[in-house]
Chains A and B, each alone.
Chain A
Amino acid sequence: MMRGIAFFCVMVAITIQRTSSFVVSPGLTPSINILRKTGKSTKVETLLKMSDEFSQFAQQLPARERIQELVDDHPVLLFMKGSKIFPQCGFSNTATQILQSYNIDFHTVDVLADEAIRSGIKDFSQWPTIPQLYVCGEFVGGSDIMIEMYQNGELGVMIEKAKADMM
């Protein structure tokens, strides 16, 4: 009985340590899937189940709050489909290409990995489509607007201001 409790405490401790990183970095999701494929023992399965439940819980934290935090924390922020290195939509790809041409650090959020953010951001921005660009906390627009502002130099001006914020 005592050994059972001790074992359970160890499991919880390991889970908390592991799942906290899953909440912070959605990019680790692929490694969960790899573990899922290779994990044979019930210990691994229990861990995975607990981490799934924990990340589902974390995802239920109001999307609005999480979005506001992202917008506040990152001077150049792109909500997109897919990731910077693997966009899953032509319009999202256009947006990342434009941002990459400025040679700055920019943060991307993959809305395909988080349904709450995907619908939440449309509400937050009052804008129906993805991608969505935020610079210095301000909503700039989607890929069409980014193209227009890139061509007329306005986006470059905004990016310069954001660069100053990053220093």
Chain B
Amino acid sequence: NEKVSMNPVEQSIKTKLVEALSPLHLEIRNESHMHNVPANSETHFKVIVVSDKFAEPSYKMPIKRHRLINNILKEEIATDGPVHALSIVAKTSKQWSASPLIPSSPSCRGGDGSLPSK
């Protein structure tokens, strides 16, 4: 009695981030609907990760945090992978309680024609 997942990419992202970062807060937003792709796509995501892994000195700089997350999700975001764009918000629990506002992702502007459109 196997149920095929409706959102396999999102599930995979969640599993990998939880395993690697033990986040205190994790939000995965499928933003594909904001872009020029068919309904129910899993091509554009925003991930909001609050983890005290980022409190480690080597993860102080945002770029180091983003590279870490890129590495965790490297299959998903590979050129031939399903994810076309990944927006990342990566904070420590301290930073998160100080400022929990998330900048919203920008509107599409049409895209480059590489994905099937709506």
Query: A residues within 8 Å of B by Cβ?
Result: 81-82, 87-91, 93-94, 112, 119, 122, 126-129, 139-145, 147-149
Contacts and interface: CB of A to CB of B under 8 A. Distances in A.
B87 interface: yes
A128 B110 contact: no
A119 B79 contact: yes
Contacts of A148: 62
A140 B64 CA distance: 11
B77 A128 contact: yes
A156 to B, nearest CB: 15
B109 A90 contact: yes
Interface of B: 34, 62-63, 66-67, 70, 74, 77-79, 85-89, 103, 105-112
Contacts of A88: 109-112
B89 A144 contact: yes
A144 B85 contact: no
A90 B78 contact: no
A112 B78 contact: no
Contact of A145 (B62, B78, B79, B86): B62
A87 B109 contact: yes
Given A88-B111, A142-B66, A149-B62, A129 B86 contact: yes
A94 B106 contact: yes
Nearest to B65: A145
Nearest to A148: B62
A96 to B, nearest CB: 11
A122 B67 CA distance: 13
Give the most central of B77, B78, B105, B109: most A CB within 10 Å. B109
Contacts of B108: 89-90
